[in-house]
Structure 1
Amino acid sequence: MPEHDLALLIQAARDAAPIANSYWNTDQRVTHKEDGAGPVSAGDIAVDTYLRETLTAARPGYGWLSEETEDDPARLAAERVFIVDPIDGTRAYVDGQTTWAHSLAVVERGETTAAVVFLPQHDKLYAAGRGTGATLNGTPIRAGTAADPTGANVLASRPLFSAENWTGEVPAMKRHFRPSLAYRLCLVAEGRFDAMLTLRPTWDWDIAAGSLIVTEAGGRVTDAAGHPLRFNSASASSPGAIAAPAPLHAALLARLAPR
């Protein structure tokens, strides 16, 4: 990992928070993306602009991929790229809820090397560097040790529990939910929940940061078919994601219907 990338992301996330907070819980302008892809707020755009200008000025040779910036194919030729969701959990953000996050990552040749997920309303900053461990507000965190899907506390949307997604009976798991996918990953890294699953196509900006935080906390993250995650592809997406301690990850993968 290039020296100081993680420190750069931490500072950028903290500096973006006052911008996001200035729009949060106000009558800000909100539009809606095509094909039901969700809302985009004035706060999203303001934070995206700040992060893009700040991070690319600090690392002019890095590519840029963000949910709120028009995609530039030049990123595909960059050795390193910033992958950013300025506000992950926009629906919660515009509704005045508190569980939204800034999600920032540096990806090198498809693998995340530095990651930050910051929840300003909770003052929770998760961070990880490749090979250096994961932290919450500077304190090391570890994923849990659950191995059996039965009784596991799982972060997932309700449709995941449909019978067609599983081989045999749906495991008797306890379902929980948080609006921010990046935050869900961090909650697994912190050991507060046993697993996070999504079977829908998943954008890089939603999982590039959180996946490294889980891995550095001792958990395992793959796509929904069990393949390693690779970021900064042309599609900028993965076919779902599974995050859990390794034994539970294997058990969940064995119970899921083939994909």
Structure 2
Amino acid sequence: MTDASLLTEIVLEAGALALARADAPGAVRDKPGGGGPVSEADIEVDRLMRARLLAARPDYGWLSEETEDGPERLSASRVFVVDPIDGTRAFLAGKPTWAISAAIVEAGEPTVGIVHMPALSKTYIAERGRGATRNGRPIAPSTRRELDGAEILANANQFEPDFWPGGVPAIERQFRPSIAYRLCLVAEGRFDAMLTFRPSWEWDIAAGALIAREAGALVTDEHGAPLAFNRADPRVAGIVTAPPPLHAALLARHLADAAH
């Protein structure tokens, strides 16, 4: 079985488990340091995916939001990077905009990425060099070039004046709880861009970043640098995703303003 087939099979199985637990997620606790809530359902999905994936690929490393991290993954040639439920707040609130995000990373780059939305019956899949699909159909980002009027997915605080000293861009802002889903929505052209200037966890973005890139969007950190994964500190310096011309316009405004 190929890596892509294996990951797809296990993600769909995990999605069925999560959907079954959506109305009864079990006990919920808050993570230390403002890390947000985690439910028994998050942990169950994580355990299922880890057991099934590592049984099939015992030499692969493992990085997940809900598993204690260790140095072993740094020496593995390939690593599973997983968020068992991305958008736990939405999951607990009974909203459908949560995802299961899973990627395989090799030499710092995702080779397979899946973002599965069980409550919305959407599955986004990408393999490096093979394009990206939603429910089996190819997807592509928007063709917007101009920053003014662009529809951008972001938290409201990402458009505070501190990030844009020269003036906040005249954009239309919307939000979705799952970062992975936001990346996919840009990948399929439903929104023009997504961004966050806060450090972002690898498990939130590895799969979605590959999907967006394979669809034709440009994906970088907030400084315009390529993303690298399976690092000792599994965070990247923000993320900006958009069609190349719009990405350039966004980054030029942000970096030019930040330099003043």
CA–CA distance in 1 between the matches of 2:25 and 2:178?
21
2:66 corresponds to = 68
User: Which structure 1 residue ranges, 5 or more long, are not aligned?
Assistant: none
Task: Please report how far the alpha carbon of residue 13 of structure 1 lies from its aligned counterpart in structure 2 after TM superposition.
Answer: 1.0
CA–CA distance in 1 between the matches of 2:237 and 2:171?
22
CA–CA distance in 1 between the matches of 2:128 and 2:34?
35
**1:27-70 CA-partner distances (Å, limit 9, x unpaired):** 62101100111000011000000000011111111100000000
1:157 corresponds to = 155
1:168 corresponds to = 166
1:186 corresponds to = 184
1:215 corresponds to = 213
SS at match of 2:197: strand
8 Å CA contact 1:149, 1:171 repeated in 2 = yes
TM-score norm. by structure 2 comes to 0.97
Give 1:229's match in structure 2, choosing from 224, 227, 233.
Answer: 227
Is 1:244 aligned to 2:230, yes or no?
A: no
Moved more, 13-22 or 117-126: 13-22
1:115 corresponds to = 113
1:84 corresponds to = 82
Task: Please report how far the alpha carbon of residue 258 of structure 1 lies from its aligned counterpart in structure 2 after TM superposition.
Answer: 3.2
| Overall identity of the aligned pairs, in % | 55
Q: Count residues in correspondence.
A: 257
8 Å CA contact 2:37, 2:88 repeated in 1 = yes
Give 2:142's match in structure 1, choosing from 144, 149, 161.
Answer: 144
**1:105-146 CA-partner distances (Å, limit 9, x unpaired):** 000010000000000001100000000000000000011111
Is 1:203 aligned to 2:211, yes or no?
A: no
8 Å CA contact 1:146, 1:152 repeated in 2 = yes
2:2 corresponds to = 4
1:24 corresponds to = 22
SS at match of 2:104: strand
CA–CA distance in 1 between the matches of 2:20 and 2:207?
24
**What's the Cα RMSD here?**
1.1
TM-score norm. by structure 1 comes to 0.97
Task: Please report how far the alpha carbon of residue 26 of structure 1 lies from its aligned counterpart in structure 2 after TM superposition.
Answer: 2.3
SS at match of 1:83: strand
CA–CA distance in 2 between the matches of 1:95 and 1:26?
11
User: Which structure 2 residue ranges, 5 or more long, are not aligned?
Assistant: none
8 Å CA contact 2:187, 2:217 repeated in 1 = yes
CA–CA distance in 2 between the matches of 1:160 and 1:133?
30
**1:175-208 CA-partner distances (Å, limit 9, x unpaired):** 0000000000000000000000001000000000
